A and B are shown apart, each in its own frame.
Chain A
Amino acid sequence: MPKIKVDPISRIEGHLNIECRIESVPELKGEYFVKECKAAVTMFRGFEVFLIGRDPRDALLFTPRVCGVCPNPHSIASAMALDDAFGAIPPPAAILIRNIEEAAYYIYDHMIHFYLLIGPELAVLMGPEYGAPILPPVLGREGIAKGIGSHYVKCIEMQRRANEVVALWGGKFPHVTNYYPGGVLVQPTPERIAQSLANLVPVWEFVALTMIEDVKKLLYANERLKEVTETVLGVRVGLENIGECNGNFLSFGMLPRVEDYESDWLDTSKRNNSVFKAGAWFNGARHPLDENRITEDAKYSFYDVPDGLHPWDGRTVPMPNKPGAYAWTKAPRYDGKVFEVGPLARMLNTFGAKWKIPRIHPITGDDYGVFEYEVRNPKGSVLDRVVARAANALICANMVFEFLRELAKLYSEGKTQNINDKPIPKEAKGRGLWEAPRGALSHWIKIKDYKISHYQLVVPGTWNWSPRDSKGNPGPGETAIQCGTTWIPRLTVPEIANALYPGWGDLVAKALTTLNMKYSGLNLEKTERGEIVNATIPLLIVRSFDPCLACGVHIISPENKTYTFKLN
């Protein structure tokens, strides 16, 4: 079976490579499809080691630096772990400020994923009319004037505006500094509230009126894709058929409500009233989350630890050149099973398979119509993940105005307390469960003699990009790539574009080669037999998960011993 390897993968966070065994399928005109995929994370830093022995509060500033793309979820997850350990319940204003910061942050994150990270592939599939604004501005200002890259450029401006709101409350972005056990260090002021509102109006408009419309166009263009695949392959393959996983989706919930923070939010088996609910979705229904069922396997990971440990007992002793191991990520499982995490998991657990999200202008009240969607593939797909991410962004854009209004009300009532300050406990433990844009995130801390004695992070990067577990089941990302529909065409990217829309590929090729002639070979890889094939579709699947892998790999060494070893 021919093999291809794509290393490195751009437009994701972190160092990942994929290795695919491909085979020619006679029923599908002899075209190549991925038979087996192995994904390997190839960088690791050792975060948990340098946390041991530090002031517990330092985790607030260390852990965001696990990942500069999703620092805010780490800030809040560690803040909630410390809330829990310190026995400090944040006052209402602090809950709202955390929500405002996180919601604004989410808009940025989902936006750059749609336009900057996965956008170029989607743009090519969407054709000249719909796709051109999503392309990078490769033809410069002249090109933008003709519409090439106009939305891409607008996204750069809007993500910056959203992050200005994060910085307004958090000091700077990336890596905010305002979180504290029991609340936030920043106080609610009318100026901050007013400036946030002013900044977020154009952001809302961009999300609701440009990004959501682009998503609708993607749905439309997907039909065209199916027509073309029918001609080329003899079967209709759309983006909803690509990147299918197993139908298990896990969410920890996020954006709690102030009124039932203690009764609903702090009990992770409930979280029924938060903007995004916690839950384990399987057999087509949501089940209450049981955090005791979270375990990590390490059979195929470079660590010498038993399988099935809960994060409270988790250890990460590295074992280089471990026989059979191929990844630096461990394999987190829920109830021993493979679960996908991410925006689709949040949407399914919160709204089920049918979503209706209002688009009412937060200031003028104009109604731009409901954004409706029904999940196309109950097992997940590239299309469903992309749409779910946009839907998440819209919900956050709607909710951030609600939180700001609630905060303004609290301020007018004089309820401005921002921290419930508690001393560092001598001995305690705590956990913070939240949702990073890429999925379920949890921090687990133990404090002994006022210092950190144990810190474990179970992050979306490990959930989605885990290697095979003790039972040999591949992780969600690997499953999605080897799901059977991952076509490896022998056509180039411009040739695919031309097949979809005559002449479009020539334009794409021109745009690409203006920068560098070699771009005509975009995404082409050689098999070891020397045959040249196109790896766009596995890359599209990888990016549909919005991988973020710096956080996926961490190590603990109890003796603070230095390890040297080589990656296989």
Chain B
Amino acid sequence: MISRRDFIKSIAVMGAATFLSLYKSDLVSALREVKDYWHICWLNGAGCTGCSVSFAQAADPDLAEILTSITVGTSGLPIALPDWMYVVHPASGSLAVEFIEDWIKYRKGQKILVVEGAIQKEGFCETGGRDFREWVKEASQAADYIVAFGSCSAFGGIPHANGNPTGAMGVQDFLKEVGLNNIAMNVINLPRCPGHPDSLTLTLASLMLGVVPELDNYNRPLMFYGKNIHSEYCPFRPFFERLEFSKFGQSESGCRFKIGCKGPIAWADCSSRKWNNRTAFCIDVGAPCIACSEPEFPDGKTAPFFVELPEVVITPPPATTVKPVEVTPLPIETLRAIGIAGLIIAAAGGAAAIYTSRRRRSRELEKEAKGEV
């Protein structure tokens, strides 16, 4: 058994992301300490349901564990069973609408809204007799935290592609459009296509434990999006240094740069965390990275997918100040109360609670500079 002291040391040495991925099973016990029922509402807009399916691929804890083991105290009630999530929910029709409305009406304090899929112009997506825009607008105002899971709800994703006839956009942009700037600022974006189940499980767990993860300028938690795929994580990087490149139809071995790999412009932890219970990630199977974690996906520099980048320029990190993980000293009783894993989360947040007010984004500034606003 690893001691608590070792835990804390390890966080400092390994970094929060690696640490969380190694010890995330402990989340289960940590979450048992959370006393009250958290209400989660999962809304689906212009998406493909791939993020829900991706969430079902979660491992350690897997979806079944999340649904059953993580219970409120000793009540046996599952803490994270969403009040509404249409992919697995028993209810349809008017009862389903009632569940969403009830969630909106609950008092604030423990409500998380998860959005999957983009938000379009009026008339393109309707559910429960109302336009999806109205649901998101109302639910966002009722939520304590908003998590945009997957590239569509984070940045618009595939439906947002050039030529897009429906005006699809991410939750943040939508909220700004309807004048809810303050709420938009606090949306936590978990892009990638589909969203990675770990990013959601860990983010929800953090929030339930009262810690907002530290975010970058695109509101992505640094613990998942803080490093560059090409320069910091890729196992094929040595091939790049030796100028050994893979080629279509000849060799799977070598750096994927020449077949269009967008690793140099992608910020995500795919190569260390991998996918589907640590099985593989895109580059592992001879394919190029398509930078699905980036706001410009699937256009800008990310496309065409199989054409090499004009130059290898590692884009500057999306956060201007990447803080090292800081461990906030907590009294021993508190440690016992929230359990070891709770501490991990707290640490992972990087004293985020303290810095929440300071973490602000320069995205608007960037946009203004580009004349996009």
If the complex has contacts A44-B166, A45-B166, A525-B94, are A7 and B99 also in contact, measured as CB distance less than 8 A? no
> Are B48 and A140 touching (Cβ within 8 A)?
no
Name the residue of chain A whose CB is nearest to the CB of B196: A172
Chain A 545-557 near chain B by CB (<8 Å), digits 1 or 0? 0000010000101
Kindly state the separation between the CA atoms of A9 and B87 in the bound complex, as whole angstroms: 9
> Are A68 and B165 touching (Cβ within 8 A)?
no
**Within 8 Å CB of B52, what residues of A?**
68
**Within 8 Å CB of A515, what residues of B?**
77, 81
Distance to closest chain A CB from B244 (angstroms)? 16
**Within 8 Å CB of B248, what residues of A?**
180, 185, 419, 421
Distance to closest chain B CB from A392 (angstroms)? 19
Listed A/B pairs (27) with beta-carbon separation below 8 Å: A7-B97, A7-B127, A15-B125, A45-B120, A58-B303, A62-B158, A68-B54, A136-B67, A137-B64, A137-B67, A144-B68, A160-B57, A167-B279, A168-B280, A171-B281, A172-B276, A173-B275, A177-B282, A180-B248, A185-B248, A185-B286, A186-B285, A418-B249, A418-B286, A519-B95, A523-B91, A564-B122
**Within 8 Å CB of A137, what residues of B?**
64, 67-68
Distance to closest chain A CB from B370 (angstroms)? 22
Name the residue of chain B whose CB is nearest to the CB of A154: B64
**Within 8 Å CB of B275, what residues of A?**
167, 171-173
**Within 8 Å CB of B176, what residues of A?**
none
Count chain B CB atoms within 10 A of each CB in A45, A139, A519, A561 and give the residue with the most. Answer: A45
**Within 8 Å CB of B64, what residues of A?**
137, 153, 156-157
> Are A566 and B93 touching (Cβ within 8 A)?
no
> Are A550 and B49 touching (Cβ within 8 A)?
yes
Within 8 A of A (CB), among B223-273: 248-250, 252, 259, 270
Name the residue of chain B whose CB is nearest to the CB of A135: B90
Kindly state the separation between the CA atoms of A170 and B282 in the bound complex, as whole angstroms: 7
**Within 8 Å CB of B249, what residues of A?**
182-183, 417-421
B92 within 8 A of A: yes
Distance to closest chain A CB from B275 (angstroms)? 4
Kindly state the separation between the CA atoms of A166 and B126 in the bound complex, as whole angstroms: 33
Chain A 149-171 near chain B by CB (<8 Å), digits 1 or 0? 10001001101100110111111
Number of interface residues of B (CB under 8 A): 92
Chain A 205-247 near chain B by CB (<8 Å), digits 1 or 0? 0000000000000000000000000000000000000000000
- Which B residues fall within an 8 A CB radius of A? 44-54, 56-57, 59, 62-64, 67-69, 71, 76-78, 81, 83, 86-99, 102, 118, 120-129, 132, 157-159, 161-168, 193-194, 248-250, 252, 259, 270, 275-277, 279-288, 290, 298, 303-307
Residues of A in contact with B, size category: 35 or more
**Within 8 Å CB of B298, what residues of A?**
58, 61-62
A198 within 8 A of B: no
With A57-B304, A171-B281, A174-B53 given, can you name 13 additional A-B contacts, CB distance below 8 Å?
A7-B97, A11-B90, A13-B49, A45-B166, A54-B303, A58-B305, A160-B277, A171-B285, A177-B287, A186-B286, A522-B91, A524-B94, A566-B123
A266 within 8 A of B: no
If the complex has contacts A167-B275, A526-B94, are A140 and B71 also in contact, measured as CB distance less than 8 A? yes
Kindly state the separation between the CA atoms of A53 and B163 in the bound complex, as whole angstroms: 10
If the complex has contacts A8-B93, A137-B67, A140-B71, are A185 and B123 also in contact, measured as CB distance less than 8 A? no
> Are B76 and A140 touching (Cβ within 8 A)?
yes
Distance to closest chain B CB from A181 (angstroms)? 9
Name the residue of chain B whose CB is nearest to the CB of A52: B163
Count chain A CB atoms within 10 A of each CB in B62, B67, B98 and give the residue with the most. Answer: B67
A305 within 8 A of B: no
A6 within 8 A of B: yes
> Are B164 and A8 touching (Cβ within 8 A)?
no
Kindly state the separation between the CA atoms of A524 and B94 in the bound complex, as whole angstroms: 8
> Are A49 and B276 touching (Cβ within 8 A)?
no
Kindly state the separation between the CA atoms of A173 and B274 in the bound complex, as whole angstroms: 11
If the complex has contacts A68-B48, A144-B68, A175-B193, are A523 and B95 also in contact, measured as CB distance less than 8 A? yes
A279 within 8 A of B: no
A118 within 8 A of B: no
- Which A residues fall within an 8 A CB radius of B? 5-11, 13-15, 42-46, 49-50, 52-55, 57-58, 60-62, 65-69, 71, 112, 116, 120, 136-137, 139-142, 144, 149, 153, 156-157, 159-160, 163-164, 166-178, 180, 182-187, 320, 417-421, 512, 514-516, 518-519, 521-526, 535, 539, 550, 555, 557, 560-567
Distance to closest chain B CB from A159 (angstroms)? 7
If the complex has contacts A8-B128, A11-B89, A168-B280, are A522 and B303 also in contact, measured as CB distance less than 8 A? no
Name the residue of chain A whose CB is nearest to the CB of B52: A68
Distance to closest chain B CB from A436 (angstroms)? 13
Distance to closest chain B CB from A563 (angstroms)? 6
**Within 8 Å CB of A149, what residues of B?**
68
Kindly state the separation between the CA atoms of A172 and B90 in the bound complex, as whole angstroms: 28
Kindly state the separation between the CA atoms of A50 and B157 in the bound complex, as whole angstroms: 12
Kindly state the separation between the CA atoms of A65 and B288 in the bound complex, as whole angstroms: 17
Kindly state the separation between the CA atoms of A523 and B249 in the bound complex, as whole angstroms: 53
**Within 8 Å CB of A42, what residues of B?**
125-127
Kindly state the separation between the CA atoms of A169 and B282 in the bound complex, as whole angstroms: 9
Kindly state the separation between the CA atoms of A470 and B167 in the bound complex, as whole angstroms: 31
> Are A50 and B282 touching (Cβ within 8 A)?
no
Name the residue of chain B whose CB is nearest to the CB of A520: B95
**Within 8 Å CB of A43, what residues of B?**
45-46, 124-127, 132
